[in-house]
């Protein structure tokens, strides 16, 4: 590392690092200093802050003192590099605006060995992703980490329900009424909760107010806009929590830069029968009726004929092109409508409803959750069996009433599309029925995790009802690639 000579910096008291709209600004150093210390693409020259007070003027731009800008996510590294490079010389760090948080009361259960291992692994660097199955207590791990750090903390969750769930859990454990940023509320405090979307919006102003940032269900973070929630934060301490880190688009690799490396992993199989309940997985095949099969095959031919016709003139015509053209080309739009009608037949096969009825009888007296692949199928199940239907547009009060009704036994079962797939604390349930959808392995594992908490009902059961002779079978195989679905 170079030392601070006159070619690299001015008086070190003029070297300033500041936070500005989700970025870091470094003043008082030259291009030579930047290039010697960091990769060439880390900093961007900002001409708006040009400073030629060193007398070099424009004749020696490499040595002129300028303003440099980079993402706030690099704060921890940059601070360490400046401390090391400038040695005993002073420089001004204006970034941190966070405060110590005193937990005068922290009522937490003693951590289990696996939870303690996760805490220890993260505490070594206070950065990284913790992968633990649903129901193994990731929230408890995070609360323990918060209590040990005693610093300003922001918890980021994917949806409002989870945000309020975190708020309630923090209040119960610490008696601290955490700030809320989102859902029409903007109450910022040294200990706050928010959503990914709200964090991305407000981080340009709040990015230097929290020393620790926790991303719950962090597999959501690599989304195009949501990445900003991490990039614009200067928090040196970072934790990611998830049961299913992998993403179809491969962007889970970005978590290393946004949060830190994976520091602890626990597979469902290792927790099966220990931390989690023992469980059985059953796959039940059903068949389309004669009328459903006739219509299904007609729709399949319509889609296939359209693609074949287009490929006569355009050999590379593919499904992605059809999707793009469906908004402006009537033929493509008709093919797309036929495809969705075909999928609807797979998801809403009449025989699935009969199997659900049999399973309700088999598990009479046990609470059951039915996971659907579409809102239409969820409503079919709800009206057929007169059970509550939870969809994404249900309001908070309605969701709470339905979940409390299941917990109290007023409702024997409920049906949902995706709103209960992850995160939300559910009443004790040990039977899940999946009846369709195009989801991948991650969603399947999340749904399995909904019924794996140990409870009074004992062994858990996970049923998947699949329409034979359709693409539903392939999607089922794709969903069940994880080791969690292997029999023991």
Token pair, residue 103, equals: 């937990």
Distance of alpha carbon 425 from alpha carbon 423, whole angstroms: 6
Distance of alpha carbon 280 from alpha carbon 289, whole angstroms: 29
- In terms of residue numbers, what domain contains 367? 279-287+349-485
Question: Which portions of the chain are predicted below pLDDT 70?
Answer: 1-13, 49-65, 87-89, 273, 419-425, 437-443, 450-452, 454-458, 482-488
Residue 244 domain-assigned (yes or no): yes
Residue 159 domain-assigned (yes or no): yes
Q: Beta strands 65-71 and 44-51: pairing type?
A: antiparallel
Residue 217 domain-assigned (yes or no): yes
The string of DSSP letters for 348-365 reads T-HHHHHHHHHHHHHTTT
Residue 241 domain-assigned (yes or no): yes
Is 128 in the same domain as 256?
A: yes
Q: Is 147 exposed, middle or buried (0-12, 13-18, 19+ CB in 10 A)?
A: middle
Residue 433 domain-assigned (yes or no): yes
Is 155 in the same domain as 74?
A: no
Residue at a domain's end among 302, 331, 347: 347
Is 333 in the same domain as 416?
A: no
Is 300 in the same domain as 319?
A: yes
Residue 473 domain-assigned (yes or no): yes
Number of domains within the chain: 4
pTM above 0.85, yes or no: no
Is 333 in the same domain as 357?
A: no
Sheet of strand 65-71, all strands in order from the earlier edge strand to the far edge:
44-51, 65-71, 23-30, 16-20, 92-93
Residue 215 domain-assigned (yes or no): yes
Residue at a domain's end among 347, 366, 388: 347
Is 241 in the same domain as 381?
A: no
Residue 415 domain-assigned (yes or no): yes
Q: Is 379 exposed, middle or buried (0-12, 13-18, 19+ CB in 10 A)?
A: middle
Whether the CA torsion 145, 147, 150, 156 is positive or negative: it is positive
Closest to 176 in 3D by CA, of 189, 185, 195, 161: 189
**CATH code, 400:** 3.40.50.300
Is residue 33 a contact partner of residue 86, using CB atoms and an 8 Å limit? Answer: no
CA distances from 277 to 19, 274, 371, 430 (A): 48, 7, 20, 9
Is 253 in the same domain as 399?
A: no
Is 80 in the same domain as 49?
A: yes
Residue with tokens 């059809």: 322
Is 400 in the same domain as 413?
A: yes
Is residue 122 a contact partner of residue 130, using CB atoms and an 8 Å limit? Answer: yes
Is 354 in the same domain as 250?
A: no
Q: Is 463 exposed, middle or buried (0-12, 13-18, 19+ CB in 10 A)?
A: buried
Is residue 373 a contact partner of residue 415, using CB atoms and an 8 Å limit? Answer: no
Is 262 in the same domain as 132?
A: yes
Is 134 in the same domain as 198?
A: yes
What's the pLDDT at 307? 92
Closest to 155 in 3D by CA, of 173, 138, 167: 167
Is residue 64 a contact partner of residue 58, using CB atoms and an 8 Å limit? Answer: yes
What's the pLDDT at 422? 60
64-97 pLDDT, tens digit per residue, is 567 899 999 999 999 999 988 886 567 899 999 9
Strands (E), 274-394: 279-286, 368-371, 389-390
């Amino acid at each position: 590392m170079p030392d601070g000579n006159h070619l690299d910096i001015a008086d070190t008291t003029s070297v300033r690092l500041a936070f500005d709209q989700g970025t870091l600004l470094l003043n008082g150093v030259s291009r030579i200093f930047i290039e010697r210390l960091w990769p060439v693409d880390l900093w961007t020259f900002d001409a708006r802050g040009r400073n030629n007070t060193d007398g070099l003027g424009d004749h020696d731009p490499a040595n002129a003192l300028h303003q440099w800008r980079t993402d706030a996510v690099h704060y921890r590294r940059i601070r360490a590099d400046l401390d090391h490079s400038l040695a005993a010389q002073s420089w001004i760090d204006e970034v941190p605006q966070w405060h110590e948080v005193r937990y005068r009361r922290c009522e937490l259960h003693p951590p289990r060995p696996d939870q303690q291992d996760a805490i220890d692994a993260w505490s070594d660097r206070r950065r990284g992703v913790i992968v633990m199955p649903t129901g193994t207590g990731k929230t408890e791990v995070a609360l323990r980490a918060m209590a040990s750090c005693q610093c300003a903390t922001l918890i980021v969750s994917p949806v409002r329900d989870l945000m309020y769930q975190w708020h309630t859990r923090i209040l119960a454990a610490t008696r601290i009424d955490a700030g809320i940023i989102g859902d029409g509320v903007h109450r910022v405090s040294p200990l706050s909760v928010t959503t990914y979307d709200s964090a991305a919006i407000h981080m340009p102003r709040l990015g230097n107010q929290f020393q620790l940032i926790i991303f719950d269900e962090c597999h959501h973070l690599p989304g195009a806009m949501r990445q900003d929630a991490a990039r614009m934060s200067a928090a040196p301490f970072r934790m990611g929590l998830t049961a299913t880190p992998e993403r179809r688009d491969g962007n889970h690799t970005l978590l290393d830069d946004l949060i830190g490396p994976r520091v602890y992993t626990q597979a469902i199989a290792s927790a099966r029968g220990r931390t989690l309940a023992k469980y059985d997985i059953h796959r039940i095949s059903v068949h389309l009726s004669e009328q459903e099969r006739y219509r299904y095959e007609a729709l399949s031919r319509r889609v296939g004929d359209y693609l074949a016709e287009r490929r006569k003139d355009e050999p590379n015509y593919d499904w992605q092109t059809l999707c793009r053209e469906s908004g402006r080309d009537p033929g493509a739009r008709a093919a797309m409508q036929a495809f969705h009608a075909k999928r609807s037949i797979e998801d809403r096969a009449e025989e699935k409803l009969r199997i659900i009825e049999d399973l309700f009888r088999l598990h009479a007296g046990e609470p059951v959750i039915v996971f659907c692949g579409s809102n239409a199928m969820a409503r079919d199940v709800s009206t057929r069996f007169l059970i509550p239907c939870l969809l994404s547009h249900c309001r908070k009060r309605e969701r709470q009433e339905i979940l409390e009704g299941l917990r109290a036994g007023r409702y024997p079962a409920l049906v949902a599309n995706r709103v209960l797939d992850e995160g939300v604390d559910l009443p004790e349930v040990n039977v899940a029925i999946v009846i369709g959808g195009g989801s991948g392995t991650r969603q399947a594992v999340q749904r399995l995790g909904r019924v794996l908490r140990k409870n009074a009902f004992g062994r858990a059961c996970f049923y998947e009802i699949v329409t034979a002779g359709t693409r539903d079978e392939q999607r089922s195989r794709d969903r069940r690639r994880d080791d969690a679905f292997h029999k023991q």
